[in-house]
Amino acid sequence: MIVRKSPREIEIMRVAGKITANALRLAKEIAKNDVTTDYLNTELEKYIISQGGIPIFKGYRGFPKSICTSINEEVVHGIPGNRRLKNGDILSIDVGVGYRKYVADAALTIPIGEISAGARRLIDVCEKSLYLAINAIKSNEKLSLISRTIQEYVEKNGYSVIRNYTGHGIGRCMHEDPQVPNFVSKSLLAADEILMQGVTIAIEPMICMGKCDTAVLNNKWTVVTKDKKLSAHFEHTVVVTEDGADILTQ
């Protein structure tokens, strides 16, 4: 069941979103060549807690760390560890923050040093697809509009949309109804939801250079492209308004 949020709830989520956005801003500052992903995890965790937030990923369904760090062909759910970033890598960081029993969630992909032109274009297309989807939203539009906007733009630019993982409703919990796929399917169209004012969702295109097929590593968390080609990930938590969408993690 999709639950619309009250103005009071949205303002609490906005605070969680601000902490999330600032944590990602910090990540952009410190994600450099030779830095370990565990160092990023430690610094972002400290920042979130210092702001009165809770790193909501830690312990969520057994996840062992406070942020997700996914490098190159890793799509999502990468576990921070001793791996050092190196020039030419692209790093997707996903952060979730709890604040006064509400949650915000956001992600971005960061270039480490000088990256290839192909990697840069992949990042740019992924980020642009997110903002195109956000700009398409308004009250009483169908959910499939988000999915179609992302899929059409990504595929027009020669990339694939990851299909096994989707965006989601968000609020009191990290994952609420509805699912927000990044592509249009028969099942989506058969149960197409109407987005009403006050609905809060996390939109998160995950795209890749090659085929959309994925696998999960032996750690049971990290998702990679099967063909080992690069992947990018961007995400914002938004609330549907009468005539658009308000980004809570800006």
Give the 3-state secondary structure of residue 101.
Answer: coil
Scan for tokens 């619309």, then name that residue. Answer: 4
Q: What is the pLDDT of residue 23?
A: 98
Span 116-143, average pLDDT: 96
Task: Round to whole Å and give the CA distance between 87 and 114.
Answer: 6
Bridge-based pairing of strands 167-169 and 223-225 is unpaired
How many C-beta neighbours within 10 Å does residue 189 have?
13
Scan for tokens 């903002």, then name that residue. Answer: 131
Q: What is the mean pLDDT of the chain?
A: 97
- Which tokens hold the place of 136? 């398409």
| pLDDT tens-digit series, residues 83-117 | 999 999 999 999 999 999 999 999 999 999 999 99
Write the Ramachandran bin of 230: left for phi over 0, alpha for psi from -120 to 50, otherwise beta: beta
Q: Is 173 exposed, middle or buried (0-12, 13-18, 19+ CB in 10 A)?
A: middle
- List domains and CATH numbers for the chain: 7-247 (3.90.230.10)
Please give the helix or strand (H or E) that residue 244 lies within, else none. Answer: strand 244-247
Q: Under a CB-based contact definition with an 8 Å cutoff, are residues 70 and 222 in contact?
A: yes
Q: Is 238 exposed, middle or buried (0-12, 13-18, 19+ CB in 10 A)?
A: buried
* pLDDT band at residue 186 under the 50/70/90 scheme: confident
Q: What is the pLDDT of residue 183?
A: 96
Give the 3-state secondary structure of residue 157.
Answer: coil
Q: Under a CB-based contact definition with an 8 Å cutoff, are residues 98 and 15 in contact?
A: no
Q: What is the pLDDT of residue 170?
A: 98
> Which residues, at least 6 apart from 20, have a Cβ–Cβ distance to it below 8 Å?
53, 95, 96, 97, 104, 105, 106, 237, 249
* pLDDT band at residue 40 under the 50/70/90 scheme: very high
Span 236-250, average pLDDT: 96
Query: Can you give the pTM of this predicted structure?
Result: 0.97
